[in-house]
Structure 1
Amino acid sequence: MKHSYRAVLVLALAVIFAFNNAAFINAVQPTLDLSGGTADPPGFNGFVKIHEGNTESEQLVDNEPHVCTFHVHGFKFDAPSSGYWNIQSWPPTGNRTVVKSGTWTADANGDWRSVLLSLPDGHYRLNWDQTDPAAPGGEKHKEFWVKCAPTPPAPPTPIAPSLTLNKIVSGGTAPKTAWNLTATRSGTLVLSGAGGASGNVTPGSYTLAETGTVTDYTNGSTYSCVKNGGSAVLNNTIVLVAGDTATCSITNTFTGATTASLTLNKIVSGGTAPKTAWNLTATRSGTLVLSGAGGASGNVTPGSYT
């Protein structure tokens, strides 16, 4: 009888243990939802980098914190996803003002890039966020510097050389304009003028000449050129570089008689008045050359007399 009672007691305890163990297992067992409900949205799992220039020849995953012109590059985002970005001027050089902004949409590969951007030299902060689908964690950011090489100064504008052709008439009364002076470069007429010419020219080699023939004057044969205040050089060719200033003169010398004889004579027709009652004069260019009561005579230089 005792053995039967013990067997019943052991069996009852086993049943109680099994029941409690099953209840425990059911309490901690996760429930598998097979109802087809909506999954959580993709996370904010992409990377954003600053890259120098307009694009990279191959995809770069490293950030470039010091740039001149640059673009913002996002990659490994879930596709499709989209969001925004902005750039603030940032201490110590900025005041947190938004200076650039835009939106982004990842392509099928999860990539997106901004256009080429440029900013004044200084410190900046890039902020970005994913808005579709909304991402946990909120806005992200990174800081970078813009530093461009200084623009070299523009080279000075070359100063065009200056050439003056000058006619000198030595003796006689012929005007300077009786001769035409010319300067040619590679067969092209550059300067020309009666009695002289002047102007700015391009650097190069110039051939100098004159035309015109006047009786009793030698034709000029060689120019005398003074360049940049230096010594005179006899040559009908001159080479000019930027900044040169040259004056080239050619002389025509009078070879005719250097004196002339002029006689002023007073004729009195009728009456008794003497010739000396009248004073006769000859002037040249306003200068009195001959004068005498009743007449005068003498050697004078060739020219026009009144």
Structure 2
Amino acid sequence: MTSHAKAPAKVNLQLTVGPVREDGYHPLVTVFQALALWEHVVAAPRADGRITLTVDAAPGAPVAIDAVPTDERNLAWRAAALLAEEYGIADGVDLAITKGVPVAGGMAGGSADAAAALVACADAWDLGATRADLARLGARLGADVPFSLHGHTAMGLGRGDELTPVMTRGEFHWVLATQAEGLSTPAVFAEYDRQVAAGDLEPSDMRARDAIMSALLAGDAESLGAALANDLEAPALALAPRLGAVLAAAEEAEALGVMVSGSGPTVAALAHSRRHALAIAAHLDAARVADAVVTASAPASGTVLVG
């Protein structure tokens, strides 16, 4: 049977980076929040064992789909192949992705595709897989995939894939300013290492910040804005100085807090309300500092079946 799933984008409220390990990864402490910007994946089984994939943009979404691969380089394609291998499925599947999350923007659009493909294919193939089973497979595809499955708000440890739910109250309103030209995540981490080694950047305390947790529990957007933190912001700005103008424009619009999201280049600004978010977005558009600006509420659910 054909199955349809959707998965959310994310923003990092905190991203603390530890020293690089022997395996080449940096230990992280991060607090994720899921945004109501969605990736949709429709899975239709086929009998010949092949996997096919098509990609389209959601109506009005600022998504450059020409940059999205439609073969085994795509995380959704790889998710379907991994699921079939794990469960001994001989059937193939036609995957149709409708993207609502900007590409290469540090908002986990590719990871959301993988999460939605796991859920849609598991349902289409009637595997009876649990959410824990899918999260375990998702972690093999990418560190952000388990959170795309989980959604809401969570703290991530390790590579960011060891999740603990975080209690929140109320709704938060975000403005996301995106750039057509992405930033390489490995390059941003390498710049982080260079800045730390040169003494230009102090390593952070690897504990979760009490201020963020308290603000989320209280539903206090103003306190949350003041507590936002990202160790990769300075490295991202060094590699893409144009992002400084985005940060400045959001501050001019009186955002409660503004930061580079994840490894960039997306800049996230927190607003008082939905109306304030629209006003910040209008200011950023007028300042011409971003290639596209979108607004989104949070926290959103994790990956769910549609219909």
Structure of greater relative contact order (alpha carbons < 8 Å, 6+ residues apart): 2
In terms of fraction of residues, the more helix-rich structure is: 2
Give the structure-1-normalised TM-score: 0.15
CA radius of gyration, larger in? 1
In terms of fraction of residues, the more strand-rich structure is: 1
